[in-house]
Structure 1
Amino acid sequence: MSLENARARVAATLCVLAALAACHHHTTHYVPPRDVVLIVIDTLRADHVSLYGYPRETAPNLARFAREAVTYDDAISPGTWTTPSHGSLFTGRWPSYHGAERVAGDRTLVTPINPEVPTLAELLRPHGFHTAAFVANSAYVARVLGFDRGFDEFFDRDLNVARQVRNALGGWLVGHREHAFIFMNILDPHEPYDPPPPFDTRFPGKHAEYGTTLTTLVFGGIRPTPDMLTHFVSQYDGEIAFTDTVLADIFGDLRSSGRYDDALVVVTSDHGEMFGEHGLAGHGHFPYEPLVHVPLLVKYPRGWRGGERVTRRVSTLGVFATILASVGVPPPADVQSIPLDEPHPVWVEDVAPGGIRVRAGYDGARKLVRTTTDHGDVDMLFDLARDGDETHAITEANASAELHTALAAFSAAPRPVNRGTTPVVDPEREFKLRALGYLQ
């Protein structure tokens, strides 16, 4: 994409935004945001959020926020775990293009964001935005992986729980009045599942003797019983409910600071979590829907389009382009992100444990997953309309030939060389990885 085309896309998108504004009652015209707030709730699968039809009321405050926001019902993350998904949000590129991925054959080593790829913070800062990040998952949204690039301030110590993130943000808001891009990573739904009282008993099924980490049991060769899974799900849901209360406080702090009404606020997740589906636990492996279907809500300034629900499938990769278009900043010429309300492909890709490259693509209800090893490719095609649990791969000949062709082309396209240096796991980072269940 040339710079002229990039600027034309921004102009066209802003024209569409302005034209649509008259159709929504919250405001009669589109107002560019004064501030941009991006909140990523780590490890939050959409089907455990009450707004998305979950029978437990896990997130009533998020549902209230949705009255002022656009809710995307079928948002797909580009990756199945933290680093590649955050990398896509930060760069507007698919994981193998921005480069922040797992090193093949290693569970913990990760390559950084390609230093030649600009980040969202680097693009916004020259346009008058003070950039500040508040990061709970400092093991994988890490400085050594390039996630601090472009941030004037990058807070990543002692922010392990949502209350600490909120407190750090609250203190920061008191001392700052300039236009800002604020990024928050909130980690509570991630293992260990240990919600504070009363959220640990908010939902039935707690058995404290089973502990707080499901993956520890699975890695230890223990097959979880139904009671065990019920326990872990109850604690996971409790973590979501706790996070939801803190999210309401964060919105309150933004209001008190005078930033909320005129801000673009995006709430999403980097990936979901598995609780025994397909015999799996945790995340970072096969791109089943519980791992890649995530919440996505976008609040525009002054409630424009508030309460709207978009049923069309989108990729959270589009958050990058949507933010830039909203503030009138042209995207890089080679960016792959397309604004959420424009048609765009939806891909997922990852390097699974064992060095297996996994990619997935969608065409309507059809989902094609390709695993690539030294022995070649294996394709699995699912019909999500008939088989939402992805338990029966379609085997008929020539099924979704166009999707096969598109995924093959996406897989075969050349990727840029990542010239970043893979960081070693130092003792401090190793401690964090153990606390999060990545090391046993």
Structure 2
Amino acid sequence: MSENVLFLVVDSLRYDAVAGDEFDTPNLDALAEDGVSFSRCFAQGISTAPSMTAILTGRYPLDYGGHWYLEEDQPTMAEQFQRNGYTTGAIHSNPNVSRLRNFDRGFDTFEENILPYDPDGLVDNAPDSLLRYANKAARILRRTPYLPAEKVNLSLAEWIGSTDDPWFLWTQYMDVHGPYLPGGDFGYRNKFRAERLWRKAAVNAPDEITPEEHDELWTNYGKEVEYLDREIGNFLDTLEERNELEETAVVVVGDHGDEFDEHGLYGHKNLPYDELTRVPLLIRFPDAAPTDQLETVDTVVRTIDILPTLLDLADADYSNEMADRLEGESLLPVIEGETPGYDVVLTEKEVRGEDYLRLGFRTDRWKYLYDGKTDEQHLYDLSDDPGETNDVTDQHPEIVEQFRERLNDRFEKIEETSEGVDVPDIDDHKGVEERLKALGYK
């Protein structure tokens, strides 16, 4: 079946921001009612680089050289659609999944708005000092450190209107990512206050956030979610007016969540607690799709399973390289009531600028976390403690030992798959550094 695929990734969208009643998200609610909502979907990364590597390759983030750069032999979701006759497009403004990191592989069109100042693509020839100052000035003048959803949607609609069917189109909405600006109010006064507060919470002094500042952060996060919901609804209305929606599979997923002091930090720099890993996953299938809709799936699933699900829906064949490296499983059988072939969800990350890893293993009952910086491990009994606040490592040494064996096996697999893989040491581009700084990464 050659239907179009619209893949909408929302950066930093946690599950309870959509599933609860606290924020008003009528368009995402309608999408869930018209399709399939996965209530227990967990990301394979706690930040964009590992999570999107997993989603776009169908493998775990740290295999085959890691998640900061896609090595040359790594097949991607876009390449698989491309080899099956799809026109492929990507339009986004996230510096962590840029062509500088090889994420443009397999896309016929790859429009990235990651450098505020990039004169005619001459970045590679510009002096670093000039580029750095130009981008710093542009970052100050630009009201958001990313392309807002309404502008992204204009580019998406233009691309769809000029592209023959079938097509695969991916974007990464950045509006929900900090700094949280109040509901699309991009005034400069709000911009500077939001950036200062975000850097205080996510980078410099999370322990000094006052109760009033905490409430402001959460309220503005919610307004960003509501703004994005409106823009997604407007875009889907545009597709429906063009008679494109009925022939298009629509997927909405968070790449990871954000923490709001549940475990002492803000943003997404902590261990893989559920606030960072549990994300909404909504799939509205085309009218001709051979699967049921109008239901919620409560089975534990992974974002790594999205790639084989969409390829299965398109009745696509895989390259040999993809088949060899694929870890994800199609969710179409799960929708029909079958049990997945895994009982543990893995989340992992190499910490930016460091050489240590953070990993988490989750089952229905247990959450095991490992912090490579300190070599500390934590165990939570989710049946009694879903908030992951009571470490029971000492009470269940046998469970800890089982997870420790899984951890050691994972280390061996990472080393085995990455042996001989040539991944260049890419320093962040000066212009990209400014964007990352604005987003709270530096």
Q: TM-score, normalised by structure 1?
A: 0.82
The 5 A counterparts of 1:224-235 are 224-235=209-220
Between the aligned partners of 2:437 and 2:406, the Cα distance in structure 1 is 39
Within 2, Cα distance between the matches of 1:199 and 1:79?
A: 29
2:286 matched to which residue of 1? 301
| Amino acid corresponding to residue 435 of structure 1 in structure 2 | A
What is the letter of the counterpart of residue 338 of structure 1? Answer: E
Q: 1:357 and 1:34 mapped to 2: Cα distance?
A: 39
Mark the CA change 1:98 to 1:230 in structure 2 (over 3 Å): closer, same or farther. Answer: farther
- In structure 2, the CA distance between the partners of 1:214 and 1:347, relative to structure 1 (3 Å rule), is farther
**Residue 261 of structure 1: which of 238, 246, 251 is its match?**
246
Q: Is the 8 A contact 1:133 1:182 kept in 2?
A: yes
Matched residue, 1:322: 309
Structure-2 residue corresponding to 1:333:
323
Which of 33, 40, 57 pairs up with 1:91? 57
In structure 2, how many angstroms separate the alpha carbons of the residues matched to 1:310 and 1:72? 5
User: Residues 252-273 of structure 1: CA distance to partner in whole angstroms, max 9, x if unpaired?
Assistant: 2222333221222211011111
Quote the offset at 1:113 in angstroms.
1.1
SS of the aligned residue for 2:239 comes to helix
- 1:68-147 to 2 correspondence within 5 Å? 68-101=34-67, 111-137=68-94, 139-147=95-103
Cα deviation, residue 288, structure 1: 0.9
Shift of 1:186: 0.4
CA-to-partner distance for each residue in 1:139-165, whole Å, 9 max, x for gaps? Answer: 111111111111000111276110111
For 1:382 and 1:38, how far apart are their aligned partners in 2? Answer: 34
Does 2:217 correspond to 1:217? no
Report which of the two has the higher share of helix.
2
Unaligned runs of 5+ in 1: 1-31, 102-110, 201-206
Percent sequence identity is 27
**Equivalent residue runs for 1:38-437 within 5 Å:** 38-49=7-18, 52=19, 54-101=20-67, 111-137=68-94, 139-157=95-113, 160-196=147-183, 211-218=194-201, 219-221=203-205, 223-302=208-287, 304-331=291-318, 332-334=322-324, 335-340=326-331, 341=334, 342-344=340-342, 345-352=344-351, 354-373=354-373, 377-394=375-392, 395-396=394-395, 397-399=397-399, 402-413=402-413, 414-417=416-419, 418-437=421-440
Q: What one-letter code is carried by the residue in structure 1 that aligns with 2:328?
A: S
> Alpha carbons of 1:288 and 1:420: their partners in 2 closer, same or farther (altered >3 Å)?
same
Change (3 A) 1:432 1:212: closer
CA distance in structure 2 between the aligned counterparts of 1:90 and 1:208, rounded to whole angstroms: 32
Taking structure 1 as reference, are residues 98 and 213 closer, same or farther at Cα in structure 2, changes over 3 Å only? farther
Give the drift of 1:220: 3.1
Secondary structure of 1:431's aligned partner: helix
1:44-86 deviation digits (Å, cap 9, x = unpaired): 011111xx2x231331110001112111101100000011111
Work out whether residues 44 and 189 of structure 1, in 8 Å CA contact, stay in contact via their aligned partners in 2: yes
Map of 2:124 onto structure 1: none
The amino acid that maps onto 2:97 is: V
Q: Which moved more, 1:58-67 or 1:214-223?
A: 214-223
Would you say the 8 A contact 2:361–2:403 is kept in 1?
Answer: yes
Alpha-carbon displacement from aligned partner over 1:383-403 (angstroms, at most 9, x marks no partner): 122112211111223136544
How far the C-alpha of 1:372 sits from its partner, in A, is: 2.8
Residue 379 of structure 1 deviates from its aligned partner by 2.2
**Aligned partners of 1:208, 1:165: CA distance in 2, in Å?**
19
Task: Give the conservation status (yes or no) of the 8 Å contact 2:180–2:198.
Answer: no
Residue 6 of structure 1 is matched in structure 2 by none
Deviation (angstroms), 1:92: 0.5
Contact 2:64 2:417 (C-alpha < 8 Å) held by counterparts: no
3-state SS of the aligned residue for 2:367?
strand
Question: How far has the Cα of 1:422 moved from its partner?
Answer: 2.9
Check the 8 A contact 1:141/1:147 in 2, yes or no.
yes
Name the CA distance, whole Å, in 1 between partners of 2:69 and 2:200. 30
User: Equivalent residue of 1:380, what SS?
Assistant: strand
Q: Note the C-alpha offset of 1:289.
A: 0.8
Q: Does the 8 Å CA contact 1:72/1:310 hold for their aligned counterparts?
A: yes
2:192 and 2:148 mapped to 1: Cα distance? 23
Q: What SS class does the counterpart of residue 278 from structure 1 fall into?
A: coil
Number of residue-to-residue matches in the alignment: 388
Task: Compute the displacement of 1:309 (Å).
Answer: 0.7
SS in 2 for 1:291: helix
Separation in structure 1 between the aligned mates of residue 167 and residue 428 of structure 2, nearest angstrom: 32
CA distance in 1, matches of 2:30, 2:186: 20
For residue 176 of structure 1, report the CA deviation from its aligned partner: 2.0
What 5-or-longer segments of structure 2 have no aligned partner? 117-145, 335-339
Two-structure CA RMSD over aligned residues (Å): 2.4
The answer to whether the 8 A contact 1:216-1:437 is kept is yes
Q: d(CA) in 1 for partners of 2:173 and 2:191?
A: 24
Amino acid at match of 1:228: E
Any idea what SS the aligned residue of 2:63 has?
helix
Contact 1:214 1:281 in 2 (8 A): no
Contact persistence 1:363–1:403 (CA under 8 A): no
Aligned residue type for 2:323: A
Provide the secondary structure at the position in 2 that maps to 1:73: strand
Paired residue type of 1:356: Y
Question: Residues 251 and 209 from structure 1, CA distance in 2 versus in 1: closer, same or farther, beyond 3 angstroms?
Answer: closer
Shift of residue 115, structure 1, vs aligned partner = 1.5
1:264 alignment partner, SS class: strand
SS at 1:266 equivalent: strand
C-alpha separation in 2, matches of 1:42 and 1:167: 19
Change (3 A) 1:299 1:197: closer
In the alignment, residue 167 of structure 1 is paired with which amino acid? L
